[in-house]
Chains A and B, each alone.
Chain A
Amino acid sequence: MKDVVVIGLGAFGSTVALELAKRGCNVLVIDRDEEQVEALSQYVVNAVTADATDPRALKEAGVENFKIAVVSVGEDIASSILITMNLKELGVDYVVTKATTELQGRILRKIGADKVIFPERDIALRTAESIANPSIFDYIELSPSYGIIEIVAPPQVIGKTLRESQIRSKYGLNLIAIKREVPIIDEGGKTVLSEEIIVSPAGDEKLIEGDVLVLIGKYDDLERFKKLRR
């Protein structure tokens, strides 16, 4: 079971703390706002009202015994920096800090944050992408150069078998699965839709209109494939 300290209990920090607790982690939450701490206290192992920018307060709360910390103190970058630094000095192995801008991220990395996350930027990117390009359902970054995409099959491959579509030979991508809504007659004689997922489809699988392709590949190849649409 992992021991995790979560500092800053806004919407983000509270959710992280609750979800960690749900997954069986021992969670210590710290925030300056007594009400926020109180609200979470029944769900986590320990909840402390303290100013985490003060190293003594952190020590008193027992932070030294934790290997993992999550810091999300909102817009206040000065506090984020101080808290991250305090945690590293107290010997916390792995500190994850939330940032809102690239510059903040760079500073946080310099002073020892092991991982900097940009939740707002990440969701903004996804939102923009899904509005601008509704045929893309999801994108998962595996590394800066590799990713997985869920995309509606472009007209160029519809009606072709997977082999004929040249997804691998021409576009350099691998098809992990096909998601398909299949109209069927159910036991009650009603016409309904049933979602079918064809995992690692064979070369002779025919692609039909409306298929959602789950593809893995290099970022540049995925970008090239995305542009096929229309």
Chain B
Amino acid sequence: MKKEIDPGILDDLKEVGRFYLLHQRFKEAIESLKKADESSDVPDPEIYYLLGMAYESIRNYEEARNYYEKALQYDKDFALAKERLEKIVGK
């Protein structure tokens, strides 16, 4: 079965961001994910969740909180984002 290739730059940037995140290259991850967000017409809660994790990893809890909240704003049932948000309460 041939997989349909999504030529959308959005997905590429998001996956590049995820790749950097998983390799603990947080600055590059944030850069790619922000670009992914900018180039998308529809807000993608997952991008915000990934950004939240990148910021949490570098202990910038204020930005982390902003992005987790943003993820929840567009997907109020985003359990993973909710979980992270509860973990960083008071930090």
Contact = CB atoms under 8 A, between A and B. Distances in A.
Interface residues of B, number: 15
B59 A152 contact: yes
B84 interface: yes
A40 interface: no
Nearest to A210: B58
Given A183-B24, A210-B26, A191 B56 contact: no
A190 B21 CA distance: 13
Given A183-B24, A208-B24, A191 B18 contact: yes
Nearest to A188: B80
A212 interface: yes
Interface in B77-91: 80, 84
B59 A191 contact: no
A184 B59 contact: no
B78 to A, nearest CB: 11
Main secondary structure, interface of A, reads: strand
Interface residues of A, number: 16
B59 A183 contact: no
B22 A191 contact: yes
Interface string A180-211: 11111100001111000000000000001110
B53 interface: yes
A182 B26 CA distance: 11
A52 to B, nearest CB: 36
A135 interface: yes
A181 B52 CA distance: 12
B13 interface: no
Given A183-B21, A184-B22, A210-B26, A191 B58 contact: no
Contacts of A193: 53, 56-57, 84
Nearest to B84: A193
A210 B53 contact: no
Nearest to B87: A193
A192 B56 CA distance: 11
B24 A192 contact: no
B56 A185 contact: no
Contact of A191 (B24, B26, B27, B53): B53
Contact of B50 (A135, A184, A191, A209): A191
A112 B91 CA distance: 40
Contacts of B80: 190, 192
Contacts of A191: 18, 21-22, 50, 53
A180 B56 CA distance: 10
Interface string B1-34: 0000000000000000010011010110000000
Given A183-B21, A191-B22, 8 more contacts: A181-B53, A181-B56, A183-B24, A190-B80, A191-B21, A193-B53, A193-B84, A209-B27
CB-based closest 10 A-B pairs: A210-B58, A181-B57, A210-B57, A183-B21, A209-B58, A210-B59, A152-B59, A183-B22, A193-B53, A183-B53
Interface of B: 18, 21-22, 24, 26-27, 50, 53-54, 56-59, 80, 84
